[in-house]
Structure 1
């Protein structure tokens, strides 16, 4: 079944540069989905007609409402399996209907479908590489990844990597001949009606946190690769030295119940607050003292940029594109992934030195404003669309 929600009005310049169809697996609450909800209206403002096509419903496709409110068309065509030819034809027909100048895909299923659509419709295609899986053994998953690499290498006109580190790793794992281009994410932090002190006081009162407590915050979908269990383990060490510290866990997911049980087993449940999904993430960051991302793997996590815009010092795993965002000792501290003692030590180093937190937080803000501004990155993306539509080959 196809559900179509068209925008109600068009800006005078919309479509003058062409039509981009943005294809994504779903519009749930993940980082890629939130970014698309930011980028589509910004792309439209630069002269492209933007249409979003989703293949699955995730978390009720919560980000779809933001797109509709911004006047962006959202079309849903259910794709239960990539090998379902009937459903695949419906998706390609949906992509064909607005006569796209370029197709831009996000996440794995959409990248496979978009690559096939590009070949069938003879329309240039771009994809953003949000994750990078490596085949292990010979099985259905490894075959799927082989097909994906084939499309990325031979069909896509540009494969956008979120950092130079991710681009280098992609080359090392079978994408040496793919048209890789580095283009970091950019965000537009929401404006708050209240100043930081007011927000801090209000949210801490709501969550039952004293104004004087040192708050460590993490934001993640609660699933194993995010490493939140390691952060909880590290907090036992932290609380032994800073007993008034609080850990704020923002997000939800399949691992939440297990993580809550872990806090009880460790005897730290009274110092950990699980908020579930929140729309006011930026204000929660501004109400905290330190941001921690203990992820075991990531590319260029958007939430790190949000924390930098909130002037927070960062403690994060040295994985993926994170070292391209956070310079150790300048915008934060980087630790080996999964290393609980190192994580605890880095957190303590920040919590016990207020002046250091302030200095590093300001450096993080300056870096975010310089390198991760939405306006700068969207302009680069629109220029890249112009290139692929004109048939310009990628730099070698």
Structure 2
């Protein structure tokens, strides 16, 4: 009996929890990272116990969110290339905590997981959050060479799955080998992500776990006059927004260009950017140069994005590539229609003219016309915002995602 079979038998015999280790390079505020605590809150924690190992520490991270979700978090300091010097430390952590499954996210953690997992014989699950063509050569080849040495590879969208298949098709693969590929699209907790009325953040306490009461009370104190008032946005003004890490793939310089074009047709519109990153200073300079700075509101990273999503009338995305953006799904769950380029999984979510509008990736200049159409047609906007939430409830709920993940965990444990 191999180690995997022994672990499966022990779990069955004593009815102990299945211990899952999430392995990820860093815990910034990207979509892949946010899914770890969000899924943990929905998992049946009477059956599962979750741990998380990360390596690159950022000042703005989600460690507290993971711990509030019941996840044991451990930091092993390391750089990218230094990850492979941490194999022994990761192995020791797994053995000390009797981990049953490694669930790795993104290439660097995936490569490390395959090295560790195969040396000690426990199941490996890997989630790919982006298309392979977007990775640098080192990440790409490290991922590709080791890719089939795992039990299940999960793609967050059909486009990501296609990329995985095309890029690994010529790699050696023994007949009857272990790896399976599954598409599990990202999900949102629709019980939590609901549009708030009157910009009052204290409404969160009605839908969120008690663990969030302190945070929501803080927002209540800050928002007695309403979030729009605080930001200097007139009450009856349309707001177009985005929640994102300010990096190249989001093409936020084009986002600002689209916003400026919208102002030519709809001069009362305001624009809300939630997040931060390497492009912030350049965006601020671009906005200042336009002379329209009073219409733009860059509010930085927010632990609780629901009040900000609830201000938005349109979620605008100019991305060049995506996996399946969590922030967009969260906005839709908060009744925000989407106007976006059809990058990655976005085109798998938005049905043209139903939950919003899509353009080709290089056809981003058309986005302004679609936004103005929604601003100028309140009845159409109202229909689309309700359709956006219903789309998430029907096809992209966190409950559905977690159910499919638990099926994978049971499968690799031979349950």
How do 1:110-189 residues align onto structure 2 when only pairs under 5 Å count? 110-134=109-133, 141-153=136-148, 155-174=149-168, 179-189=180-190
Q: Deviations over 1:146-176 (max 9, x none)?
A: 22112222x1111111122221232223357
Q: Give, in whole Å, the separation in 2 of the partners of 1:343 and 1:304.
A: 16
Residue of structure 1 in register with 2:332 after alignment: 308
- 2:127 counterpart SS class: strand
Change (3 A) 1:85 1:158: closer
Residue of structure 2 in register with 1:45 after alignment: 45
TM-score, normalising length from structure 2? Answer: 0.84
Change (3 A) 1:46 1:344: farther
- 2:226 counterpart SS class: helix
Q: Give, in whole Å, the separation in 2 of the partners of 1:118 and 1:57.
A: 23
Shift in Å, 1:107: 2.0
Q: Give, in whole Å, the separation in 2 of the partners of 1:379 and 1:109.
A: 26
1:369 paired with 2:380, answer no
Q: Quick check: 1:23–1:103 contact (8 Å CA) kept in 2?
A: yes
Shift in Å, 1:339: 3.1
Q: Give, in whole Å, the separation in 2 of the partners of 1:113 and 1:192.
A: 34
- 1:339 counterpart SS class: helix
Q: Deviations over 1:353-375 (max 9, x none)?
A: 11111101111111111112112
Q: Quick check: 1:55–1:110 contact (8 Å CA) kept in 2?
A: no
1:291 paired with 2:285, answer no
Residue of structure 2 in register with 1:260 after alignment: 284
Q: Give, in whole Å, the separation in 2 of the partners of 1:354 and 1:382.
A: 42
Residue of structure 2 in register with 1:380 after alignment: 404
Change (3 A) 1:361 1:161: same
Q: Quick check: 2:193–2:330 contact (8 Å CA) kept in 1?
A: no
Change (3 A) 1:242 1:193: closer
Q: Quick check: 1:26–1:58 contact (8 Å CA) kept in 2?
A: yes
Q: Deviations over 1:226-264 (max 9, x none)?
A: 111111111221111100001111111111110011112
Change (3 A) 1:293 1:192: closer
Residue of structure 1 in register with 2:4 after alignment: none
Residue of structure 1 in register with 2:204 after alignment: none
Change (3 A) 1:195 1:57: closer
- Count the aligned residue pairs: 372
Shift in Å, 1:144: 3.8
Shift in Å, 1:222: 1.0
Residue of structure 1 in register with 2:209 after alignment: none
Shift in Å, 1:209: 0.2
Shift in Å, 1:385: 0.5
Q: Deviations over 1:176-209 (max 9, x none)?
A: 7762210011222574899413439711011010
Change (3 A) 1:195 1:373: same
Q: Quick check: 1:350–1:356 contact (8 Å CA) kept in 2?
A: yes
Residue of structure 2 in register with 1:221 after alignment: 245
Change (3 A) 1:325 1:15: farther
Residue of structure 2 in register with 1:4 after alignment: none
Residue of structure 1 in register with 2:8 after alignment: none
Q: Which runs of 5+ in 1 are unaligned?
A: 1-13, 392-396
- 1:248 counterpart SS class: strand
Residue of structure 1 in register with 2:30 after alignment: 30
Q: Which runs of 5+ in 2 are unaligned?
A: 1-13, 174-178, 202-224
Change (3 A) 1:259 1:289: same
Residue of structure 1 in register with 2:367 after alignment: 343
Q: Give, in whole Å, the separation in 2 of the partners of 1:249 and 1:198.
A: 17
RMSD of aligned C-alpha atoms? 2.4
